[in-house]
Chain A
Amino acid sequence: MSTLVVAEHDNAELKPVTLVVIAAANAIGGDIDILVAGEGCSAVADEAAKIAGVSKVLLADNAAYAHQLAENVAPLVAELGANYTHVLAGHTTTGKNFLPRVAAVLGVAQISDIISVESPDTFKRPFYAGNAIATVKSNDAIKVVSVRGTAYDGVAAEGGSAAIEAVTSVFDTGLSSFVSEEIVKLERPELTAASIVISGGRGMQNGENFKLLEGIADKLGAAIGASRAAVDAGFVPNDMQVGQTGKIVAPDLYIAVGISGAIQHLAGMKDSKVIVAINKDEDAPIFQIADYGLVADLFQALPELEALL
């Protein structure tokens, strides 16, 4: 058995989700190789080589892979992946983009968003917004699997000394090209990596009021999230969305403010260790899963909370 893990990175550094994917690969067993595909990304390969338990780092450094365009990355991963029993990536917007293409090229199914490895061919994954958990067995020769970022604790980033091998295959399909990106400069921790998350919902009433969360987030070192309702209403951008169709988080502390608790939102945060809900509607479903509920007007409670921290 052998697993190819596709590293997630921005050509400068490795994203923490890769350590979680390697933990899932450990649960499968066998040798683990990491593919770092990008441009000018040798620092990422060096970082990957140090990860505990990695046998080999494959470095595909070429302009065709600079922006992780699925049309170019997928055939590379499929070509390399044909030599493995498992191909794994994170269930992030990057993984979701290229991995199904890899599976289709290999002619196999993909098992999306797994939360645990039961055996090398059997995995657990949530569906129906986390309201059901399926145990799924793959009968394909190669298992293509995307791993939820909260499925496992990440492996140690240090302790290994894998060899780095250059990959010479270049797939430049010319089907797509990168134009530009607007990557939000985060002054706070990233949502999926933060140990504390404070999220606002429709109850925030407008985008301006999200400022009320900022002071608290700064004091707690927290990331700021939002419900789909808040994104839908145009209060905040989509990259802040926590839920079934947004990001999945499982921080030590999750504070839901003005969020009613639709199942689609709960799907993204109910594995948090401690959940706090602040809502003026005492019948809001969010209170059914909150460890600590405060029935209060958020416009009074938030300034009070900030002052007390």
Chain B
Amino acid sequence: MKVLVPVKRVVDANVKIRVKPDNTGVDLTNVKMTVNPFCEIAIEEAVRMKEAGTATEVVAVAVGGSACKEQLRTCLALGADRAVLIETDVDIQPLGIAKALKALQEKEQADIVLFGKQSIDGDNSQTGQMFAALTGMPQGTFASEIKIENGKAIVTREVDGGLQIISTSLPVVITTDLRLNEPRYASLPNIMKAKKKQMDVYTPEELGVDVTPTLEVLSVEPPPVRAAGIKVESVEELVDKLKNEAKVIS
């Protein structure tokens, strides 16, 4: 069984980002970039499937600029067998990514396509579901547990009210939630080995895909600043302020 894991290169979660002074976007010069945390969980799950004998091959794929090779190497060091970069300098949006991945899936014919549930930069939570629609595959989104048995995927989903368990046919799209697993760290020998693993590069044109965005970002602004309030000295003072000043409790 082949597992395809699309990953995204994003700003490290610990970086405090800044909006550009001209309001055209977010300033990404010289900031630390990483594999999107939910994509890392997806890679981990795929590698565990391989270790458990469920999967035979794990392929990591990224859609974006050539700098994404760095994150793909990380995925190879974490245990992916090979990587594919669909290289484009277009500021690509979820539907475009889904179309490019669909073209790759036609070549790869993966049985399980494991996405992160959202990227921590765009915060869209769209790409996996769009890919599933375009390929006509079922989807198990926001997964906290995945079981593959008898040609079916049994996916436990984190939903607003608790958990939902669904069963789907294969091939399937699964998007990972936080509690699915705790990703490992890449070991030095594996980082060295990753350098020798195969990485193919295609362009969207080679795959026959139009990735032109249809959403236009008119401006990007920092959020309104919330002024710091006051420090209270005691629980009594806090309760008094909430009752008599803020009037939010009675």
Interface residues of A (CB under 8 A from B): 67, 69-71, 74, 92-94, 96-105, 107-113, 122, 126-140, 173-184, 192, 196, 220, 228, 231-232, 237-239, 241, 244-245, 247, 252-253, 263-264, 270, 273-276, 282, 287-296, 301, 304-305, 308-309
Contacts and interface: CB of A to CB of B under 8 A. Distances in A.
A139 B212 CA distance: 12
A184 B162 contact: yes
Contacts of A74: 133
A301 B95 CA distance: 49
B105 interface: no
A232 B178 contact: yes
B134 interface: yes
Q: Which label, helix, strand, loop or mixed, suits the secondary structure of the A interface?
A: mixed
B228 A287 contact: yes
B55 interface: no
A128 B123 contact: yes
A178 B157 CA distance: 11
B226 interface: yes
Most chain B CB within 10 A, of A101, A273, A304, is at A101
A37 B136 CA distance: 21
A93 B123 contact: no
Contact of A178 (B164, B169, B220): B164
A132 B161 contact: no
B129 A133 contact: no
B229 A293 contact: yes
A128 B11 contact: yes
Given A104-B95, A132-B221, A137-B218, A295 B120 contact: no
B187 interface: no
13 contacts: A93-B158, A102-B133, A104-B133, A107-B95, A128-B26, A132-B26, A132-B222, A133-B221, A133-B222, A232-B178, A245-B178, A289-B228, A304-B235
Contact of A253 (B98, B139, B249): B249
A270 B165 CA distance: 32
B130 A220 contact: no
B65 interface: no
A292 B142 contact: no
Most chain A CB within 10 A, of B93, B123, B140, is at B123
A134 B220 contact: yes
B13 interface: yes
Contact of B231 (A67, A107, A287, A301): A287
A247 B160 contact: yes
B164 A176 contact: no
Contacts of A228: 178
A136 B162 contact: no
B232 interface: yes
Given A93-B142, A131-B19, A176-B168, 16 more contacts: A96-B142, A97-B142, A100-B94, A122-B218, A128-B123, A134-B219, A177-B166, A181-B159, A182-B162, A183-B161, A274-B248, A275-B226, A282-B231, A287-B228, A294-B232, A294-B238
Contact of A181 (B154, B165, B218, B226): B165
A239 B167 contact: no
B229 A291 contact: yes
Contacts of B138: 71, 173, 175-176
